[in-house]
């Protein structure tokens, strides 16, 4: 089952579900038991918040969600440290690094756990999209290390239809083996899905220098638009206008320290000398019109 990010067609925010099986059939959450849906490589697409972990806190628009692992299945208490590399926890880190939207589903809190005022009185309820803002480790109330994630509800303005991208292009670059229909992909966080696809081609290795930043929980890279989005450049949010860069080369590129020739040589603006060749994946068609636009912004003659 492919990991699907964003809203799922036919199930608006507030949709009720009887149990986990209904959620799984509807495609909102792939797991029958686990709280985190998704995987470490692609990211987490959904979580269930049902107060299963004692260190959780639900403030409505902000959720402190505890990662999984280290729990005694019978008592629900922590009996050993949690690990960030456990797939569900790493999946949430991946969603944080790439700004992917996470579906939040609240479940009725059973008596074993503390009640959240935001929990439904019965069953489960889809409560919309959140972003993972940060994560950290702390000593849990049971005396073992837990990993925690701060999730913040996305405003409607932060969730939008990618008007600049043709439906065909979305299908072509769909995440996962199954074809993705445009109805499922209708509402996604601007830019993050396109960047996610481009980054996956390069395994987060910078197209300029080849470096992939290693952080706890995985690799990091940035999606750099060749021709900027919005005012005044009006570049499109498509893979043809995006590069996978390390933070240093992203800053260099956005501020004119480096630019590209039509042959995709990397040029040092200070010396005017070529300093390398842009790495390009076979699936990545770079639009030279955007390359020329960027170059003309940063060259005098």
**Residues forming the site for DNA (CB under 7 A):** 1, 19-21, 24, 30-36, 38-40, 48-53, 56, 65-66, 68-71, 73-74, 86-88, 107, 110-112
What percent of the residues of the chain are helix, what percent strand, and what percent coil, each to the nearest 5?
20, 25, 50
- Whether 211 and 205 have beta carbons less than 8 Å apart is answered as yes
- Smallest distance, Å, CB 98 to DNA? 16
Nearer to DNA, 40 or 246 (CB): 40
Spacing of C-alpha 274 from chain mean position: 34
Nearer to DNA, 94 or 294 (CB): 94
- Smallest distance, Å, CB 91 to DNA? 8
Residues 45, 46, 52, 57: is their CA dihedral positive or negative? positive
Helix (H, G, I), strand (E, B) or coil at 222: strand
- Smallest distance, Å, CB 238 to DNA? 28
Helix (H, G, I), strand (E, B) or coil at 42: coil
- Smallest distance, Å, CB 97 to DNA? 17
Nearer to DNA, 34 or 269 (CB): 34
Nearer to DNA, 22 or 254 (CB): 22
78: which DSSP letter?
A: B
- Whether 215 and 181 have beta carbons less than 8 Å apart is answered as no
Nearer to DNA, 68 or 225 (CB): 68
Q: What Å distances lie between residue 179 and 29, 101, 184, 196, CA to CA? A: 18, 20, 11, 16
- Smallest distance, Å, CB 5 to DNA? 14
Q: How far apart are CA 39 and CA 46, in angstroms?
A: 11
């Amino acid at each position: 089952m492919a990991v699907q990010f964003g809203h799922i067609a036919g199930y608006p925010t507030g949709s009720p579900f009887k149990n986990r099986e209904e959620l799984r059939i509807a495609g909102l959450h792939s797991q029958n038991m686990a709280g985190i849906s998704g995987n470490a490589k692609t990211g987490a697409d959904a979580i269930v918040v049902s107060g299963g972990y004692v260190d959780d806190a639900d403030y409505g628009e902000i959720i402190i969600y505890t990662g999984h692992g280290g729990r005694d299945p019978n008592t629900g208490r922590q009996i050993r440290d949690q690990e960030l590399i456990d797939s569900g926890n790493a999946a949430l880190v991946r969603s944080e690094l790439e700004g992917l939207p996470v579906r939040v589903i609240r479940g009725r809190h059973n008596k074993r756990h503390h009640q959240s005022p935001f929990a439904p009185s019965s069953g489960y309820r889809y409560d919309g999209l959140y972003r993972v803002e940060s994560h950290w480790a702390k000593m849990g109330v049971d005396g073992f290390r837990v990993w925690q994630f701060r999730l913040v509800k996305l405003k409607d303005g932060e969730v939008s239809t990618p008007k600049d991208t043709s439906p065909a292009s979305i299908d072509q670059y769909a995440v996962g083996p199954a074809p993705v229909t445009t109805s499922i992909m209708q509402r996604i966080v601007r830019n993050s899905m396109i960047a996610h696809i481009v980054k996956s081609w390069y395994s987060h290795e910078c197209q300029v220098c080849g470096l992939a930043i290693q952080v706890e929980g995985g690799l990091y890279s940035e999606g750099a638009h060749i021709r900027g989005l919005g005012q005044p450049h009006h570049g499109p949010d498509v893979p043809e206008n995006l590069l996978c860069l390390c933070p240093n080369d992203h800053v260099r590129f956005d501020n004119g320290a480096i630019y590209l020739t039509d042959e995709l040589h990397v040029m040092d603006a200070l010396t005017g000398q070529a300093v390398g060749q842009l790495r390009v994946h076979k699936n990545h068609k770079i639009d030279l019109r955007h390359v020329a636009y960027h170059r003309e912004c940063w060259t005098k003659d």
